[in-house]
Structure 1
Amino acid sequence: MARGGINKALVMQARQALLARGEHPSIDAVRIELGNTGSKTTIHRYLKELEESEAGQTENAASLSEELGRLVAALAGRLQGEADEQVERMRERFAEEHTRLEEQLRLAEERGQQLEAGVAALTEQLQGESDSHRQARERLQQLEVEQARLLQANQDQAMRLTERDEQIRSLEEKHRHSRDALEHYRQASKEQREQEQRRHEAQMQQLQMELRQLQQTLILKQDEVTQLNRANERLASENGYRAKELGEQRDRLERQAGELATLRTELAQSQAAREVLQERLGLLQSETTELKAALATQRQETQALHISLAAATMEVQLLRQAAASMAPEEVLAGEPDTQTSGTAAKRPEEA
């Protein structure tokens, strides 16, 4: 009984492997080829079946070979007859083709003679064309020389244009820097003006508050308050004057910006115009310095007003202390005078 995994197909594969290596497919050799598996009886039975099958196939092949030989002989005779007929037809076609080709050769010779005559005429024409070509080539050389000269001139012109463009870009860059400087100066001046305006407004508000307090509490100091109001009006007028001057400066700066814009189309005069702008900037800076000095003077005057207000406040406090320390009799004795003083105090107020 065969072991598991041994069948006729495996035995056939082992036998074919041995035959391929040129070895005799014995039972032991087949068993070794199968890895020492399977019983020798089973292997012997499969080998016998395989040999019988191959013997039957050999006999069938022999009988088939005889029949095929007869068929091949008949087919060969038929092919020989058809080949002879085909050769005869090809000979007839060859004769006809040979006659046609001879006629074509005759016509080609006649055509060749005509072409030779045409070639002679074309040769003369070609000679004329060669002369024309030589003249045209000489003219072309002259034109190439002229073109090279024009090309060099064009390159020189392009180089000069490039240098001109570079100068224009340089001038535009300088103008842009000048415009930026003017814009920066205008912005700084504007910010400084706004700061001074806010500071002045804050000072004005503080002064007005102090003035209202003094008007409510210091009736006897009406003259000093009037002077302070006049000083306040003078400060307001000076502030308006300063604002007007700053507006004029801003207008001058805008006009200068317009002049810078026109400089782009007047490059030949840009250097002189830039120097003029620099001189104007110097004047503006000097005017700004004067404005700063005027603002410093204004601040000093404001401080002086603060000092005056502080002195007035101190004087009022002293008067209050003196009034509080007076005896009742002195108060009664001084009533007429107080009334008189009150009347005198009312008159300025009514006025």
Structure 2
Amino acid sequence: MARDGINKALVMRARQALLARGEHPGIDAVRVELGNTGSKTTIHRYLKELEESEAGQARSAVGLSDELAALIAPLAARLQGEAEETVARMRQQCDAERADFEARLVQAQEQIGQLQGQVDSLSGQLQAETERHQQSREQLQQAEVEQVRLRQANQDQAAHLKDRDEQVRSLEEKHRHSREALEHYRQASKEQREQEQRRQEAQLQQVQMELRQLQQTLILKQDEVTQLNRANERLASENAYRAKALDEQRDRLERQAGELAALHGQLVQSHAAKEVLQERLGLLQAETGELKATLDTQRQEAQALHIGLAAANTELQLLRQIIVSEQERARLTSEETAPERQEES
């Protein structure tokens, strides 16, 4: 008994089945006919014994009659014809399957080309969206920097306006003190002039009285009159000097009033500049909001493109797997039909 349950009778039946189909009864073909069981060494030994047995029978049958040869020849011709028809039919089927496979391969390659084009297009769109996203991010950063700069400028301007207000208040305080000093000077000058006038009037009355009383002694009192005249001149000079000082003080007050008006103008301009900066800050904040909304939209579009790219890659992998399966199937078909071609050749 041979290994794996294989005996000579089973090998003989498998060999006869292969010969009936017009196939060469090789070791591998017989083993496949037996269901891929049995040792190749055992099958080779049984095949060799069967060939030697048939060769002996052929030698013993050399002397058979021509009638037996005539009966066997049509059967052999019929078997040969059936084998040729089977081979032709299988060849046509193989050619049809090959043509169908080639058509499907061309269609798959076209689909791969289209998908590759879509992948390239999606990659380009993704790159463009990435660049736009980067530009939007840079614009947003610039806007934020500009916003910070404007906020700092607004704070500096507010501090500058505060300093200006302090200067204006200081000038107003100085102007008030100057007005008070001027008013005090005017009052003092007025009182002094009134005192001088009263004194002069009193002196004049006294002089007149003395003049009436001392008309007889006019020559003796001429020196006193001269002294009184000099005193009058001195008082006049003092009055002129005080009037000049009063005019200079008035000029200084007018200059300070002009400076105060100029500072008020600068204050108004500073307030106007502050309003312009606040309006610009509001516009930048609105633009920043729009840029953030655009950035969110671009992020959503980029996510959708990533999803589409992943789906395209998945479909491309499936097509590649289908092509590999078809190629493997074609290879197996070619290997199955190779022994038949060898027998035909």
Using structure 2 for the length normalisation, give the TM-score: 0.37
Using structure 1 for the length normalisation, give the TM-score: 0.37
The higher-RCO structure (CA 8 Å, 6+ apart) is 2
